[in-house]
A and B are shown apart, each in its own frame.
Chain A
Amino acid sequence: MMRFASLGQAALVALVVVYLLAVYLLPSQVWMGFTINALAMSIVALSWNITGGFGGMASFGHAAMYGTGAYASAVLQVQFGVNAWVAFAAGIAAGALMGAFIGALAFRYGVKGSYFALVTLAFAEVLRICASAFEITGAGRGLQLTLQPGVATLQFNNDRVLTYTLLLGIVALVMALTAWLKYSRFGAYLVAVRENEDAARALGIDTYRVKVTAMAISGAFGGLAGAVYLQLWLFIDSSVVYGVSISVTALIGPIIGGAGTVWGPLVGTLGLHLLGEGAKTALHGAPGLNFVLYALVLIAALRFLPQGLMGLAARIGVLGRKGGDDA
Chain B
Amino acid sequence: MTVRIDGPVGYYAAGMNQAAVVEITGHAGVGLAENMMSGLVHVTGSASQSAGATAHGGLLVIDGDAAARCGISMKGVSIVVGGNVGHMSAFMAQAGCLVICGDAGDGLGDSIYEAHIYVKGRTGQLGADCVEKPLRPEHISQLTELLTAAGRPEHPEEFRRYGSARQLYNFHVDHAFSY
Same complex: no
By a beta-carbon cutoff of 8 Å, the part of chain B in contact with chain A is none
> Which residues of A are in contact with B by a Cβ distance under 8 Å?
none
